[in-house]
Amino acid sequence: MKIIKRNGTEVAFDIEKIISAVRKANNEVSETNRLTEEQIGEIAQNVAANAGDLNRAVNVEEIQDLVENQIMEHRAYAVARKYITYRYNRSLVRQSNTTDAQILTLIECNNELVKQENSNKNPTVNSVQRDYMAGEVSKDLTRRLLLPQDIVEAHDEGLIHFHDADYFAQHMHNCDLVNLEDMLQNGTVISGTFIEKPHSFSTACNIATQIIAQVASNQYGGQSISLTHLAPFVEISRQKIRSEVAEELAGVEVDEATVHRIAEKRLKEEIKKGIQTIQYQVVTLLTTNGQAPFVTVFMYLGEARSERERDDLAMIIEETLNQRIQGVKNESGVWVTPAFPKLIYVLEENNVREGTKYWYLTELAARCTAKRMVPDYISEKKMLEFKVDKNGEGHCYTCMGCRSFLTPYLDENGKPKYYGRFNQGVVTINLVDVALSSKGDMDEFWKIFDERLALCYRALMARHNRLVGTLSDAAPILWQYGALARLKKGEKIDKLLYGGYSTISLGYAGLYECVKYMTGKSHTDAEAKPFALAVMQHMNDQCKAWKAKENIDFSLYGTPLESTTYKFAKCLQKRFGIIPGVTDKNYITNSYHVHVTEQIDAFTKLKFESEFQQLSPGGAISYVEVPNMQDNIPAVLAVMQYIYDNIMYAELNTKSDYCQICGYDGEIKIVEEDGKLLWECPHCHNRDQNKMNVARRTCGYIGTQYWNQGRTQEIRDRVLHL
């Protein structure tokens, strides 16, 4: 069994330390109030057993809580008081400086908590360490100075989660849809240098990657770009290349068809090089956050403005899919699955069925998904139903990163606007804690629910107010040079924070466990489903009321918990103990999802979850877990067609691994040893994470840097839906 110390380091459990601590407290009381040596040994053994039952690494505070409980059970109240007093005095000493120990262990790569915080950050790299160091300082300032104490305490206890506190000290927002069209067509400024409209497709791709890097360094969430914004530059390159070919062949008798054939061949080579630039630049870039940009590439034929532009866009999409199928080479020279960029492919009437014009792209997308887990799929049909503006018109557009969706918005001219908009931040409510705190009493549940939602509202307003008054100079690429706006120097961004231009998100987690505790059934059960939908509707109603009050676009968001799923689970176990089917895992379920262990087929799951997506306007994604489908592309296509007809946004999860020791390219397994989950090659039993490539989708994005113990257990527990 492992113990996580306060500074984040992981050490082996040592029962003698418990015995020693209890003895010290025992020796400070009168002889008549003392425990016997046998009782002290029994206390230590019980603590060890209780900690072992949690089936995960426990932290020092949890061990000390167990020790207190055991002393009290032995009715040694005087000893318990001495032990509690000692803990309190030590905590006062630690409060004199809350960041030093965390930072020092971080630098020495001994901090297990930080190592597992983000599955796309390598904590041994200097740039990542610098970001984490800054994050520790920001969290300290946030906790002590910037947030009300009751919100800090609610966050610590796992009642809510105040996301991205490591960036809160700065005036930074969450995620956005980059207005790449504006920046490319009208020019932009990068690092003080004016960049004019590109004169070729390849140059446009190069500039796009620079924009992506700059945007990522000035926010903390995901960003999305559309390939449609690159499509006009295909025609510019086409005309340029045709002129070059004509000049080269001057004086030579060739027909127009030959000139066209040569020019189109060269054009396709330029498209190939341009897409390579985007893929390799994104994968190899390190932003100021110490990671590759969390960027999503949107592929939607319906955005094209003409038939020619749509065909050019189709060429770009085809090349993007082909290059992702190939993958990128790891340090051993083997083609593996990259985490970024994330790809989203829109299923629409002209590509979703055999015989339609762009069916070949959909077949290619299916092969790509089977091999590399992307693209994910948006149904134009369902999105036009779900995303309806105040005029009653539906719209199809990309999410901001992995699942955060903007709400429909019309500009001052009554035209729909999505690119250039953003999300202000997220606070998540732990629905499981609401249920457990109510002790199963329905009246008490709704009362506590409203109290927690009021807490979330105040925390969200803290996020909003942190952005109010921010000057455009804080991030010129965002606010002055077109990524999000064209504000003047010295102008405040405030007008972009109100009226629906940007959103702010109420996240939620653990709907399954909440419903399970309150009804005794999964929310997939017909008897329990109405309660689940009522919970969702209640949160939507609250967002609507807050929006009316503040003129801020509050929106309900299906939180993609990564490390927080483990934090919430530990907090629940500490507050309520182990409750079968509710707190007996080291994770809770993301948003509205069907529990990962529930036996359900892919089509039933997608159909069921589609109702909850409609009630998650601020963001949602569903998935089905599938085996290796590379030899069964028709089955992948069948799922994709079902997505088109039944659910707005979904993905297929498979595996894509490689062992650098023996060359095994099947599934790397998760094994358990001494209470800890480890990744192991089933062929050569390699457990060195630095010598294997593991890719899993955990939060919409693919992760490649491994996960904490809670999320790893969730990955292990997943059942196949197909």
Q: How far, in Å, are 57, 408, 457, 556, 592 from residue 434 at the CA level?
A: 25, 31, 16, 17, 15
308: CB partners within 8 A, 6+ apart = 235
HEC readout, 370-383 = HHHCCCEEEEHHHH
Concatenated DSSP letters of 584-604: SSSS--BTTPPPTTS---HHH
Rg (CA), the chain: 27
- Of 158, 293, 271, 268, residue with least CA distance to 216: 293
Just list the catalytic residues.
Answer: 174-175, 400, 402, 404, 423, 557, 562, 700
Residues paired with residue 555 on neighbouring β-strands, in sequence order: 505
171: CB partners within 8 A, 6+ apart = 466, 467, 470, 474
60-73 helix and 564-576 helix, angle to the nearest 10 degrees: 10
CA atoms within 13 A on the CB side of 268: 11
In a 3-state reduction of DSSP, which class is residue 432?
helix
- Of 382, 430, 448, 432, residue with least CA distance to 576: 432
β pairing state of 188-190 and 692-697: unpaired
Q: What is the dihedral of CA 12, 124, 119, 323, to 10 degrees?
A: -140
92: CB partners within 8 A, 6+ apart = none
β pairing state of 342-347 and 376-379: parallel
CA atoms within 13 A on the CB side of 710: 28
- C-alpha 214/C-alpha 191 separation (Å) is 9
Where does residue 93 rank: exposed (0-12), middle (13-18), buried (19+ CB within 10 A)?
Answer: exposed
- C-alpha 377/C-alpha 381 separation (Å) is 12
Q: For 151, left (φ over 0), alpha (ψ -120 to 50), or beta? A: alpha
* DSSP classification of residue 481: S
- C-alpha 46/C-alpha 155 separation (Å) is 30
Evaluate the omega torsion of the peptide bond into residue 148 and state whether it is cis, within 30 degrees of 0: no
- C-alpha 286/C-alpha 28 separation (Å) is 55
